[in-house]
């Protein structure tokens, strides 16, 4: 630690400064992991977790408070609304988040939309630090003709539909209505199309195995797509090598030749179409619904993950009655007071510190873009939390002035007719969902209407 910082730290430790008040906007993995890390080190007395920074906080900082705000009545973000219903083990992280939320020094306030019910500026007046962890609530668009035809949806909306996201509830585990719709689905073949080739696919070997082993389905992979790739992946990283080898094996297995002879006996098929770039969604004769997609064939320039897809000039049409665009999520601006990079759909930041706005931070997808899995978000959130802790340590955050935290925000919300949902009230909603699920032989039956949630807890 630099000498000036050490002097500043000693002055702060001896000052008996008021307890820090910190708020986190967003209750998904990024929000909860940020809160968890801040509380962990403020509770133990450690301010910095690295050997080169052996700083401690005085005991009275055990009173530090972290408040989490969420626009929905229910917490957990994409853990609740993004994880597939047939992957319940991934949702076990909710147990950790629940432990954090039940801490005496943490409070959850659902049903509060920051930027509408309360501004970021008002939060900054009430807290020593504000962390924006509200994720990516929109999807990227293809930007091609016909994208708005009936039968064209974003993967985000589709996932939200079967996971019971309130805004997509009319389209969870899987909700009964979604399960019924899928059970009577007439979809027989699904093509996954990508602009680049087998060496650039973004799915994992676990996901590929699950697809290959789907009961009543047959993979359709063209052996010609994998010519020469065995040698190309010899020196590739092990995950990429194993993934490519499994695709090659699936494409070339002799028993697949027999399966082709008995296609009529296989209810459903799925396949991969490489080096295809969508150019237009084609309409039916009445111009109302999708009937297919016109695609440009591409060639690759470069190799590995940096390879770029370049159109060859050739086109093909793929007949289909349903199109799901899965090209990524994107964050949206939250408040005019918060800088926002519209090109990359992120908040400009340095290690989670929002550029040009001291005391304002960000974590998760709104910080770095919609990439990675829960463990990626955990590490990213810890990094942002560490920036908050360092700024407390070095005096960047002035805790000499007491802040009211939710005391001030609660008054603002009451004046605007907003009633927050507490974590104990969420647990009542949770218990009702579990009870409904038990009656249906499921882990839970999600309530998808926010008004029904609020009525359930007497709001």
> DSSP labels for 159-206?
HHHHTT-GGGTT-----HHHHHHHHT----EEEEE-SS-GGG--S-HH
Domain positions in the chain are 3-138+330-421, 187-325
Average pLDDT over residues 326-355: 93
Average pLDDT over residues 269-284: 94
pLDDT value of position 71: 95
pLDDT value of position 8: 45
Residue 300 or residue 42, greater confidence: 300
Question: Longest Cα pair distance anywhere in the chain, in angstroms?
Answer: 81
Say yes or no to pLDDT of 327 above 50: yes
> Averaging pLDDT over each range in 5-14, 249-258, 334-343, which range is the top one?
334-343
pLDDT value of position 162: 77
Say yes or no to pLDDT of 170 above 70: no
Task: Kindly state the tokens that stand for 26.
Answer: 């967003």
Average pLDDT over residues 106-117: 96
* Burial bucket for residue 388 (CB in 10 Å: 0-12, 13-18, 19+): buried
**pTM of this prediction?**
0.81
Note whether 281 and 144 are within 8 A (CB): yes
Average pLDDT over residues 28-53: 73
Look up residue 89 and give its DSSP letter: G
> Averaging pLDDT over each range in 6-10, 163-167, 294-298, which range is the top one?
294-298
Q: Is 137 helix (H, G, I), strand (E, B) or coil?
A: coil
Say yes or no to pLDDT of 397 above 50: yes
CATH 1.10.472.10 fits 187-325, yes or no: no
Beta carbons within 8 Å of 434's beta carbon, 6+ residues apart: 443, 444
Confidence of residue 394 (pLDDT cuts 50, 70, 90): confident
Q: Which helix (H) or strand (E) holds 299?
A: strand 290-301
Confidence of residue 180 (pLDDT cuts 50, 70, 90): confident
Confidence of residue 443 (pLDDT cuts 50, 70, 90): confident
Return the percentage of the chain with pLDDT > 90, whole number: 56
Residue 51 or residue 436, greater confidence: 436
pLDDT value of position 43: 65
Say yes or no to pLDDT of 112 above 90: yes
Min mean pLDDT across 68-82, 254-268, 368-382, 445-459 is at 254-268
Determine the Cα–Cα distance for residues 151 and 149; give it in Å rounded to an integer.
6
First to last CA, the chain: 50
Q: DSSP characters for 300-316? A: EES-GGG-EEEEEEEEE
Average pLDDT over residues 110-114: 96
Q: Which helix (H) or strand (E) holds 66?
A: strand 65-69
pLDDT value of position 173: 58
Say yes or no to pLDDT of 429 above 90: yes
Residue 267 or residue 421, greater confidence: 421
Determine the Cα–Cα distance for residues 56 and 13; give it in Å rounded to an integer.
8
Average pLDDT over residues 429-457: 91
Look up residue 331 and give its DSSP letter: -
- Mean pLDDT of the chain, nearest integer: 86
Residue with tokens 């039916």: 284
Q: Which helix (H) or strand (E) holds 282?
A: strand 276-283
Ramachandran region, residue 421 (left: φ > 0; alpha: ψ -120 to 50; beta: rest): beta
pLDDT value of position 2: 45
Average pLDDT over residues 294-319: 92
Say yes or no to pLDDT of 105 above 90: yes
Residue 16 or residue 76, greater confidence: 76
Average pLDDT over residues 119-141: 93
Say yes or no to pLDDT of 452 above 60: yes
CA distances from residue 180 to 162, 165, 174, 184 in whole angstroms, order as listed:
11, 17, 10, 6
Say yes or no to pLDDT of 284 above 50: yes
Confidence of residue 59 (pLDDT cuts 50, 70, 90): very low
Task: Kindly state the tokens that stand for 109.
Answer: 């306030």
pLDDT value of position 7: 45
Kindly give the interhelix angle for 238-252 and 254-261, rounded to the nearest 10 degrees. 50
Residue 86 or residue 27, greater confidence: 27
Q: Which residues lie across from 24 on neighbouring strands?
A: 68, 131
CA distances from residue 287 to 146, 150, 291 in whole angstroms, order as listed:
9, 9, 10
pLDDT value of position 66: 96
Determine the Cα–Cα distance for residues 26 and 75; give it in Å rounded to an integer.
8
Determine the Cα–Cα distance for residues 76 and 300; give it in Å rounded to an integer.
40
pLDDT value of position 60: 40
Task: Kindly state the tokens that stand for 122.
Answer: 């008002």
pLDDT value of position 261: 53
Determine the Cα–Cα distance for residues 123 and 182; give it in Å rounded to an integer.
43
Beta carbons within 8 Å of 197's beta carbon, 6+ residues apart: 225, 274, 275, 300, 307
Same fold, 3-138+330-421 and 187-325: no
Confidence of residue 57 (pLDDT cuts 50, 70, 90): very low
> Averaging pLDDT over each range in 86-100, 242-256, 379-393, which range is the top one?
379-393
Q: Read off φ and ψ for residue 251, nearest 5 degrees.
A: -70, -35
Instruction: Give CA 10 to chain center in angstroms.
Output: 40
Q: pLDDT tens for residues 221-267?
A: 999 999 888 888 888 889 999 999 999 999 887 445 555 555 556 78
| CATH number, domain 3-138+330-421 | 3.40.50.720
Q: Is 388 helix (H, G, I), strand (E, B) or coil?
A: helix
Residue 40 or residue 48, greater confidence: 40
Determine the Cα–Cα distance for residues 167 and 150; give it in Å rounded to an integer.
18
pLDDT value of position 305: 81
Q: Which helix (H) or strand (E) holds 209?
A: helix 205-212
Determine the Cα–Cα distance for residues 173 and 159; give it in Å rounded to an integer.
12
């Amino acid at each position: 630690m630099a000498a000036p910082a050490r002097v500043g730290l000693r002055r702060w430790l001896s000052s008996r400064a008021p307890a820090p008040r910190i708020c986190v906007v967003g209750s998904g993995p990024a929000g909860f992991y940020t809160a968890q890390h801040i509380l962990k080190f403020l509770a133990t007395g450690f301010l910095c977790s690295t050997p080169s920074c052996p700083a401690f906080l005085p005991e009275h900082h055990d009173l530090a408070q972290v408040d989490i705000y969420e626009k929905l009545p229910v917490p957990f973000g994409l853990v609740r609304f993004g994880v597939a219903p047939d992957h319940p083990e991934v949702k076990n992280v909710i147990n950790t988040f629940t432990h954090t939320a039940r801490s005496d020094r943490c409070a959850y306030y659902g049903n509060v939309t920051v930027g509408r019910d309360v501004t970021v500026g008002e939060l900054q007046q009430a807290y020593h630090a504000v962390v924006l962890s509200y994720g990516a609530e929109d999807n990227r668009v293809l930007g091609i003709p016909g994208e708005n035809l009936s039968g064209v949806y974003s993967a985000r909306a589709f996932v939200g539909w079967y996971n019971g996201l309130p805004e997509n509830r009319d389209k969870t585990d899987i909700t009964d209505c979604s399960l019924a719709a899928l059970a009577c689905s007439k979809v027989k073949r699904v093509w996954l199309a990508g602009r680049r080739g087998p060496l650039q696919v973004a799915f994992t070997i676990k996901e590929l195995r699950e697809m290959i082993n789907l009961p009543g389905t047959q993979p359709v992979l063209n052996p010609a797509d994998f010519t020469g790739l065995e040698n190309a992946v010899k020196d590739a990283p092990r995950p990429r090598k194993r993934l490519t080898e499994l695709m090659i094996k699936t494409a070339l297995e002799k028993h697949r030749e027999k399966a082709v002879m008995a296609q009529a006996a296989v209810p459903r098929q799925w396949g991969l179409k490489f080096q295809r770039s969508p150019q237009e969604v084609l309409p039916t004769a009445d111009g109302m619904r999708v009937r297919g997609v016109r695609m440009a064939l591409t060639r690759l320039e470069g190799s590995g993950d940096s390879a770029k897809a370049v159109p060859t000039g050739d086109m093909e049409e793929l007949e289909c009655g349903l199109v799901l665009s899965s090209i990524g999520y994107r964050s949206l601006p939250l408040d005019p007071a918060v800088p926002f990079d519209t090109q990359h759909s992120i908040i400009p930041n340095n290690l989670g510190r929002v550029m040009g706005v001291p005391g304002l931070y960000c974590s998760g997808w709104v910080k770095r873009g919609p990439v990675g899995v829960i463990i990626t978000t955990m590490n990213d959130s810890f990094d942002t939390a560490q920036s908050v802790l360092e700024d407390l340590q070095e005096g960047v955050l002035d805790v000499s002035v007491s802040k009211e935290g939710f005391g001030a925000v609660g008054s603002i919300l009451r004046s605007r007719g907003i009633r927050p949902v507490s974590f104990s009230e969420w647990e009542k909603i949770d218990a009702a969902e579990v009870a409904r699920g038990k009656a249906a032989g499921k882990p839970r039956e999600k309530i998808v209407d926010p008004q029904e949630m609020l009525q359930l807890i007497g709001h």
